[in-house]
Structure 1
Amino acid sequence: MGRWMKVLKIEDLHVYYGGIHALKGISMEVPENKIVTLVGANGAGKSTTLRAVSGLVPAAGGRITWRGEEITGSKTVDIVKKGITLVPEGRRIFANLTVLENLHMGAYARTDKEEIKKDINKIYEMFPRLREREWQAAGTLSGGEQQMLAIGRALMSRPKLLMMDEPSLGLAPLLVKEVFRIIKEIHSQGMTILLIEQNARAALQVADYGYVLETGRIVLQGPGQELAANAEVQKAYLGRS
């Protein structure tokens, strides 16, 4: 990781959820224009990590810095304005609003109307299905279309770091492939991505670097391909003995 410019740095982060010590002093870095993935079983602390970076759960200890500036304890809206956006698990789109209204919600912190229009067109180029369903209520979309909308809405804030929590969860295998194709495409345009994914094999294949979390601690880290080839990782997460 030494030669890459780090934009996000987490140092000795502790988070409690109710009475549970969910993160027990994790340290990790996300370099600019790279894809970093967090791999681990359910309850390992992956989502908590993203929620802590977003300011959705408070840190009990440690620090989070973004481009050298400490953001631990900052409000979520201020973190979004700095360029960090989360695509939450379960998509969380506004079901009663149309596709277009959902995209506008992603740009709520922006005032550049002409640029917003251009960005909506870019999203429609990336996801033609959304253009076809522009005036449809988002709740009537299929699971795959809702995931595309959730990603599109996040991109509308023009993030510098896109954090994605389980983007392929609950999708059919063909759509999982499509989601990973989209992740690669967004990354190829210069986006830095922090990815959590139940599908560890697919995540490690696209990731430049990965971290393995077990019950709130990082137990392994390394380049994505290296972790994918690691016997312990294969046995625990890739279904190979």
Structure 2
Amino acid sequence: MLKVKDLVVSYGGIEALKGVDIEVKKGEIVTLVGANGAGKSTLLRAVVGLVKSKNGSIFYEGQEILGQKSQNIVTKGITLVPEGRRVFPNLTVLENIKLGAYFRKDTKKIEEDIQWVYSLFPRLKERSWQLAGTLSGGEQQMLAVGRALMSNPKLLMMDEPSLGLAPLIVKDIFNIIKEIREKGVTILLIEQNANVALKIADRGYVLETGKITIKGSGKSLLQNEDIKKAYLGESVAK
């Protein structure tokens, strides 16, 4: 579904991505693991056209999308849930959700998808007329995911969905990620909580200082001693 080949992205002469290759197949959950500053967010932003690439190719369903406008990429079926949620604080929950369907014209299906989002996140339905800025961090994350789903994506990219959330909320978010995949949505996930992410991932990549250093199945990466030491912590390794 998505193939990134030899992608190079520079900021002010410094290469954030140094020839990255990744592949995401239809129906998969793929996770990118790496420290802060490794280039993970830059990779997702390059896929949706938010940053310019110096070199490389990005193929989506066999078509080169590198250099296309972000709105065109969204209409092709790729959506990004950005780090930090980025909800519109002065709009209601429902207004935020509807904004996710901005480029769609299928009114009846939009209403069905709103109900689907509410079924995934019942708390959003309870707070549909509440201003988004008054929601808790976990509720704002739910809203950011729900809004992204309203664009009817084939590929949903998520940047640190568990950041700053309580463990119980993190568990809920990851259960919902699995449920979204069961509905036929392919997922590319960035997550600092490597233990949780790799447990649900079909495959994963480790990104270090702009380069892919390790790749494999989620299970094999969980068992990799180097990854245990670097990203999973001593207690998980034991």
Q: Give TM class, smaller chain.
A: over 0.9
The corresponding residue for 2:31 is 37
The corresponding residue for 1:213 is 207
CA distance in 1, matches of 2:84, 2:98: 20
Q: Does 1:191 align with 2:182?
A: no
Give 5+ residue unaligned stretches, structure 2: none
Q: Does 1:13 align with 2:7?
A: yes
* Among 201, 204, 224, the residue aligned to 2:198: 204
The corresponding residue for 2:223 is 229
CA distance in 2, matches of 1:17, 1:153: 30
* Among 72, 82, 105, the residue aligned to 1:78: 72
TM-score when normalising by structure 1: 0.96
Q: What CA RMSD, in Å, does the superposition of the two structures yield over aligned residues?
A: 0.7
Q: Does 1:115 align with 2:109?
A: yes
Q: Which amino acid aligns with 1:220?
A: I
CA distance in 2, matches of 1:39, 1:17: 21
CA distance in 2, matches of 1:151, 1:229: 30
The corresponding residue for 1:165 is 159
User: 1:17 Cα deviation (Å)?
Assistant: 1.9
CA distance in 2, matches of 1:148, 1:17: 31
User: 1:191 Cα deviation (Å)?
Assistant: 1.1
The corresponding residue for 2:233 is 239
The corresponding residue for 1:3 is none
Cα distance per residue 1:88-125 (max 9 Å; x no partner): 00000111000010011000000111111111011111
Moved over 3 A (4+): none
Give 5+ residue unaligned stretches, structure 1: 1-6
The corresponding residue for 1:156 is 150
Q: Does 1:65 align with 2:59?
A: yes
Number of aligned positions between the proteins:
235
Cα distance per residue 1:142-169 (max 9 Å; x no partner): 0010000000000000000000000000
CA distance in 1, matches of 2:113, 2:183: 14
